[in-house]
């Protein structure tokens, strides 16, 4: 166990109100690609003139819904993905009363699958889908099994994922809950995110607690203000902290 891991374990042991703020790097160890790394979704050659960013925009969804869903089902839904050590550790720490909330930029639902109860999904979830006309709910299987554009069984309306696309605003209730949790935390652990996606990344400015911890494979813009910075895979870090490895 490295000195950094020992320090993180000490911080967790001495904290009673931890909030975890996570990004795409949290789920890469579950086999879900991130967006901005060399092997990430944004650097994939799609054989199209349209960039991946454009394909998950509100404009593209409205104008080219069939093409949107082709990309969405292929690149953003990973139904067989399982929680990794990070997800499982956070759920266990919540049971112990240490972690009070998870704030995530991910849309995969793995925190809840691991057992976390208080999760603020800033960008929504692929597991929730709604008819744009009658608002009927559909799970992810409806999307995966649909040919072309998914349609509502009740009214025939177009079904939209409960995912925040580019050009769309974040849910105000989710943001409010996340801000309140971060404001009240004594420790904020930020993991698997480069902190360059706004407005989500700006949430850490609400933290007023004792310890700010950053766990990421590459540098972030908040490294200079952190009390502890760890450059390692986040699942590996939590495995050691929890004594699982």
Q: pLDDT tens digit string along 134-167? A: 999 999 999 999 999 999 999 999 999 999 999 9
Structural contact between residues 71 and 56, judged by C-beta atoms closer than 8 angstroms: yes
Where does residue 149 fall: left (phi above 0), alpha (psi -120 to 50 degrees), or beta otherwise?
Answer: beta
Comma-separated ranges of CATH 3.40.50.1220 domains in the chain = 3-32+83-123+165-241
Q: What is the pLDDT of residues 203-244, one digit of tens each?
A: 999 999 999 999 999 999 899 999 999 999 999 999 999 999
Q: In angstroms, rounded to a whole number, what is the distance separating the alpha carbons of residues 198 and 176?
A: 15
133 is catalytic: no
User: Does pLDDT of 36 surpass 70?
Assistant: no
Confidence tier at 44 by pLDDT (50, 70, 90): low
Query: In angstroms, rounded to a whole number, what is the distance separating the alpha carbons of residues 107 and 171?
Result: 14
CB count, 10 Å around CB of 14?
Answer: 11
Percent of residues in the chain assigned helix, strand, coil, to nearest 5: 40, 20, 45
Q: Reply yes or no on whether the pLDDT at 38 is more than 60.
A: no
Q: Which of 64, 87, 111, 123 is catalytic?
A: 123
DSSP string, 85-96: HHHHHHHHHHHT
DSSP single-letter state for residue 170? P
Q: In the predicted model, is pLDDT for residue 39 greater than 60?
A: no
Calculate the alpha carbon distances from 24 to 132, 176, 195, 197, 243 in Å.
28, 22, 11, 11, 24
d(CA 23, CA 27): 8
Query: Under CATH, what is the fold of the domain 3-32+83-123+165-241?
Result: Rossmann fold (3.40.50)
Q: Strand 124-131 to strand 159-163: parallel, antiparallel, or no bridges (unpaired)?
A: antiparallel
Structure confidence by residue, pLDDT tens digits, 8-19: 999 999 999 999
Residue 44's alpha-carbon distances to 41, 51, 62, 81, in angstroms, are 5, 9, 23, 20
């Amino acid at each position: 166990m490295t000195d950094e891991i020992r320090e993180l374990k000490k911080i967790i042991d001495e904290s009673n109100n931890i909030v975890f703020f996570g990004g795409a790097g949290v789920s890469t160890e579950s086999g879900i690609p991130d967006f901005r790394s060399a092997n990430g979704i944004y650097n994939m050659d799609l054989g199209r003139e349209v960039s991946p960013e454009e394909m998950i925009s509100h404009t593209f969804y409205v104008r080219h819904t069939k093409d949107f869903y082709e990309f969405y089902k292929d690149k953003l839904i990973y139904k067989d993905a399982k929680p990794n050590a990070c997800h499982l550790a956070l759920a266990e720490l919540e049971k112990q009363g240490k972690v009070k909330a998870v704030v995530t930029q991910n849309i995969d639902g793995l925190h809840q699958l691991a057992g976390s109860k208080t999760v603020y999904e800033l960008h929504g979830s692929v597991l929730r889908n709604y008819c744009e006309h009658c608002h009927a709910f559909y799970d992810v299987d409806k999307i995966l099994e649909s040919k072309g554009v998914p349609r509502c069984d009740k009214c025939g309306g177009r079904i939209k994922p409960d995912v925040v696309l580019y050009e769309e605003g974040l849910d105000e209730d989710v943001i409010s809950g996340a801000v309140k949790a971060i404001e009240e935390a004594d420790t904020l652990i930020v993991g698997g995110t480069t902190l360059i996606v706004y407005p989500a990344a700006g949430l850490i400015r609400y933290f007023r607690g004792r310890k700010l911890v950053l766990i990421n494979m590459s540098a972030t813009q908040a490294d200079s203000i952190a009390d502890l910075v760890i450059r390692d895979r986040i699942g590996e870090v939590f495995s050691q902290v929890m004594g699982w490895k």
